[in-house]
Each structure stands twice: as C-alpha cells, then as structure tokens.
Structure 1
C-alpha cells in the first residue's frame, strides 16, 4: 500500500473524478452566482465576496478543457488560497477528502495535454485525475 504524502479534495466534473491537493484549499461553498467582471479573461465567471475576501470564480470546465455541455450541474465552488489571491473553481460536486498516495501515474496522459493535470491515482477502486491549479491562477494575477 502506498504511503500518503498529503491530503486531497475529490470532486466530479464532466463525468470524471479529480483530486486537488488540500494544502491550498480554503473552503468549499455551495454554488452562488458571481458578479460579472467587465473585461475578465476567458474562463472567469465573475467575483464573489466570501467574508470580506474577493474571490475570482473560474469555470472548472474551462480549466480542464471540458465541454460545458458534458456537465450536469456545477453545484460547488472550491475556494483556493494562493499568494496571488483567492480563486474559486466551479465544479459539479465535491465528494470527500482523501489521502493522495505517493505514487502518481504519469503515463498515458497524452490524450489530455494540459498544464493543470499532474497524473492519475487509483483510490478505493476509482481512478482520479490529479490536478493542481496554482500555476494557472498565478498567471491570472
């Protein structure tokens, strides 16, 4: 059995399961409609106020290059805390917090050429795609 290096938050989007390191996760919110931001870049849905902090909300489908029509609903916002600010990623559903095993498979990811995807992990007989959004969010600053 692989020893866990850190914890991750598991979420669903577009029929796939993902896991993001918990170290940057501030909280998970039920979806609330963000205020639009004039001139915002593609993939930015808008801004929300979370206890006095402005959070830029990004479409999870855009970040992961998924067809928005493949998603049933986007019901949660995962709020991430980075040195450049707070960012929210809109996802269908947050499942749970789990240990991320030390071994991550990076083979076979050619079908999804994307800088946010780090590899895949097998957890409880389910395949999860390991993602890390920090580099993308830093580029938005």
Structure 2
C-alpha cells in the first residue's frame, strides 16, 4: 500500500521560503486591502469578507518576527480554515505545492526560535522553513 504524504504550500517572505501544511489552507487570494479593526493587536492588518466569511488578516512578517522593510509588497493572502475561525496570512508570493517530509527528514532550526516554526527542509539545494500558524491563530480568540 502506498503511503499518503501530507502536502504543504510554499510561500516567500523576503529571502526565505516557508512551507505551511496545505490541510488547513482554504484558498490563496491576491492581496486585497482589509478593513481596519479598531483596537486590534500589532500583527492584525484588518478584516476581509471572503464569500460571506469574515477573515482576520495577519501580517506574515509580524508572525515570523521579520523586518517588513526586507520584504517586497506582500501580494497574497493564505486563508486558513481553522476550528477557531478563518484567518488570512499576508505573504509576498505563493510559489508551489510540495510534499511535506516525515519527521525524520525535518531538521531543527538553530538560528531562529519561534512558536510557529517547526523546523527546516532541504530540497533541491534550497532551504525551506516549515511553519504552522494554527496554534498562533487559535490563541488570538
């Protein structure tokens, strides 16, 4: 019997490439300016309506503690469908869907520690950082 691999969606912020599990990604949108939310935290850009669902849009640079000046315009929104609601993560570019590795293939990340970062993956001489925003977004409620 063939083993079913989990898929991930690859996106870019600055010079780094990230992979998030595809299982919680509802869709990828071209960037649209969210409506501001008074009193929202520093990482919240605002809210958008996606087919009748209100989506809280978060800055990807803020989630990953990146300097926003090191990134080009963040041109896409990854919409996550989580048990706690819909969240959008603003990213620079969405590049591909790829197979996620088994735990044995994942390396720990030595140079940067963050709750959303799960480890790293080397593919075709490129480094991908494995992330999962689900727990972070669930804590916002």
Q: Paired residue for 1:54?
A: 54
Distance 1:40 1:12 in 2: 25
Point out where structure 1 has 5 or more consecutive residues left out of the alignment: none
> How many angstroms does 1:122 deviate by?
1.2
Alpha-carbon separation, structure 2, partners of 1:66 and 1:58: 13
How is 1:1-141 mapped onto 2 (pairs within 5 angstroms)?
5-102=5-102, 103-106=105-108, 109-141=109-141
TM-score, normalised to structure 1, is 0.94
Q: Which runs of 4+ in 1 moved over 6 A?
A: none
- The number of equivalent residue pairs is 137
Gaps of 5+ in 2: none
**In structure 1, distance between residues paired with 2:24 and 2:30:** 18
Distance 1:4 1:92, change over 3 A: farther
What's the offset of the Cα at 1:101? Answer: 1.6
Q: Which digits, 9 at most, give the CA deviation of each residue in 1:60-79, with x for residues without a partner?
A: 00000000000011000000
- Take 1:65 and 1:115, find their aligned partners in 2: how far apart are those partners? 11
Residue 112 of structure 1 deviates from its aligned partner by 1.1
Supply the RMSD in Å over aligned alpha carbons: 1.1
Cα offset for 1:138? 0.5
Rounded to whole Å, the distance in 1 between the matches of 2:126 and 2:19 is: 11
